[in-house]
C-alpha cells in the first residue's frame, strides 16, 4: 500500500507554503501601496480649513469689487515666455508696480513655482520661463494701485509649450 508522502502528493507542507505565499503577496502589496500613498499628495488644500473658511466672505467681497472695475486681462504662454496684460474698462493698460505669477499643479505641489513679472512694453508684463505641458492653475497677484492686490486665477492647459 502506498502513502501520500511516497507518491509526492499534496501534503500539509504544501498547504503551509501556499498559505504563506498567498498572505505574503497580500501583505507585500498593502505595504507597497501604503508607502506610495505616504509619499504622494496629501490631499490637503489649505493648512487649516476652519481659518480659511473665516476669510471666505472677505475674499468673495474683494472678488466682486474687482469684477465691478470692468478690467480685462490676457494671458499668453508660448515660446518659453509667460505674458500678461491688464486693461481697464476704457481699454487703457493698467500699470503695475509689482506682479507675480504662481504656477500650480491642481493636485501636486512639488512643481509649484512663483515667478516675478517685469514690464516688457505697452502695459504687458512678462517673464522668460518654459512651462511644462499639462494642467496648471495660474494665479496672478499684482499691485495695481488698489487698496488690495489685483488677483486673478485661471485653470489652463499647456500643450507643446503653448497655452491651449
The verdict on 86 and 33 lying in the same domain is no
The verdict on 25 and 78 lying in the same domain is no
The verdict on 108 and 29 lying in the same domain is no
The verdict on 103 and 27 lying in the same domain is no
Domain assignment of residue 5, yes or no? no
Domain assignment of residue 42, yes or no? no
Dist. CA 131–CA 134, nearest whole Å: 9
The verdict on 143 and 76 lying in the same domain is yes
Q: Could you tell me the pLDDT band of residue 162, with boundaries at 50, 70 and 90?
A: very high
Q: Could you tell me the pLDDT band of residue 97, with boundaries at 50, 70 and 90?
A: confident
pLDDT, one tens digit per residue, over 17-33 is: 999 999 999 999 999 99
pLDDT at 16 > cutoff 90: yes
pLDDT, one tens digit per residue, over 73-94 is: 999 999 999 999 999 999 999 9
Domain assignment of residue 84, yes or no? yes
Dist. CA 72–CA 105, nearest whole Å: 24
Handedness of CA 36, 42, 43, 45 (dihedral sign): negative
| Residue 12 pLDDT | 93
Domain assignment of residue 81, yes or no? yes
Domain assignment of residue 48, yes or no? no
Domains held by the chain: number: 2
Dist. CA 154–CA 136, nearest whole Å: 8
Q: Could you tell me the pLDDT band of residue 2, with boundaries at 50, 70 and 90?
A: low
**Residue 86 burial class via C-beta count within 10 angstroms: exposed 0-12, middle 13-18, buried 19 and up:** buried
The verdict on 155 and 87 lying in the same domain is yes
| Residue 1 pLDDT | 52
The C-alpha cell at 54 is 473665516
What pTM value is reported for the model?
Answer: 0.71
User: For residue 100, what are the domain limits?
Assistant: 71-163
The predicted model gives 108-136 an average pLDDT of: 92
> What CATH number is given to the structural domain containing 95?
2.60.40.1930
Angle of CA points 75, 81, 87, to nearest 5°: 30
Please provide the DSSP assignment of 123-155 as one string: TEEEEE--PPSEEEEEEEEEE-SSSS-EEEEEE
Please provide the DSSP assignment of 11-68 as one string: -HHHHHHHHHHHHHHHHHHHHHHHHHHHHS----SSS-HHHHHHTHHHHHHHHHHHHH
The verdict on 83 and 17 lying in the same domain is no
The verdict on 78 and 28 lying in the same domain is no
| Residue 121 pLDDT | 84
Amino acid at each position: 500500500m502506498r502513502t501520500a508522502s511516497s507518491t509526492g502528493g499534496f501534503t500539509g507542507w504544501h498547504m503551509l507554503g501556499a498559505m504563506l505565499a498567498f498572505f505574503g503577496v497580500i501583505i507585500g502589496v498593502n505595504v507597497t501601496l501604503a508607502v506610495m500613498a505616504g509619499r504622494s499628495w496629501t490631499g490637503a488644500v489649505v493648512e487649516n480649513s476652519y481659518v480659511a473658511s473665516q476669510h471666505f466672505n472677505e475674499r468673495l467681497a474683494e472678488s466682486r469689487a474687482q469684477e465691478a472695475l470692468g478690467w480685462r486681462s490676457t494671458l499668453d504662454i508660448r515660446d518659453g515666455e509667460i505674458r500678461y496684460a491688464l486693461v481697464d474698462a476704457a481699454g487703457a493698460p493698467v500699470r503695475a508696480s509689482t506682479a507675480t505669477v504662481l504656477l500650480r499643479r491642481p493636485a501636486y505641489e512639488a512643481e509649484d513655482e512663483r515667478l516675478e513679472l517685469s514690464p516688457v512694453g505697452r502695459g504687458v508684463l512678462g517673464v522668460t520661463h518654459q512651462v511644462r505641458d499639462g494642467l496648471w492653475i495660474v494665479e496672478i497677484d499684482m499691485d495695481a494701485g488698489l487698496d488690495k492686490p489685483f488677483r486673478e486665477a485661471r485653470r489652463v492647459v499647456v500643450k507643446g509649450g503653448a497655452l491651449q
